[in-house]
Amino acid sequence: MPASLPLPKYEGVGILRNAPVRVGIYIGLCLAIVFSAWVMVAHRVAVLDGFQRERNLAALVILCALALFPVVRFYRSPHEQVLSGLIAWTILCFTYRVLGLFFSLLDQEYIRLQIFVMGSLAYMISATLSWIGTIVWRARNEYTSHLRH
């Protein structure tokens, strides 16, 4: 009898083995749930109409915190950061599209393309800054390693 048994292999969907895709899907679903809850509360709960500013600020803070998760998770890998962020933001934009079918006033402020471009631009800027930071960090480490010789 062998001393250690082999661990079972991951038998899930093959695409979920990729960490940026998996994080993007999870964060996208979380963003969609929070955004849907925000829209439902804003349109269906009349008790909170007196607290519009606070309700909107709380939802915006939660959405921004969730949207920052791919940036923090993949701060050393800009391409994974962009992939994860764009998957999450695409799911959020799809949710915005579906909610726009039920709430006609939702599409009056921003259209889906504007929301997608704003989110993807934010992720692209973040990935660019991460890429520049990685280059500077590598150059700095290379410089300090030459000083020690």
pLDDT confidence of residue 7: 53
Kindly report, residue by residue over 95-121, the tens digit of the pLDDT.
Answer: 999 998 888 788 777 788 888 999 999
Residues 105/57, Cβ–Cβ less than 8 Å: no
Domain contains 3: no
Asked whether residue 96 is assigned to any structural domain, the reply reads yes
Q: Is 8 part of any domain? A: no
Q: Is residue 36 part of a domain?
A: yes
- Alpha-carbon distance 86 to 31, whole Å? 12
Q: Burial, 3: exposed, middle or buried (Cβ in 10 Å; 0-12, 13-18, 19+)?
A: exposed
Q: Residue 22: give the domain boundaries.
A: 18-147
Q: Are 31 and 65 in contact (CB under 8 A)?
A: no
Torsion sign over Cα 66, 70, 76, 79? negative
Residue 5 lies in a domain: no
pLDDT at position 69: 94
Domain count, the chain: 1
Residue 1 lies in a domain: no
pLDDT for position 11: 57
Q: What global pTM score does this model have?
A: 0.80
Please check whether residue 62 lies inside any domain of the structure: yes
Report if residue 9 sits inside a domain. Answer: no
pLDDT < 50: residue spans in the chain: none
Predicted pLDDT of residue 5: 62
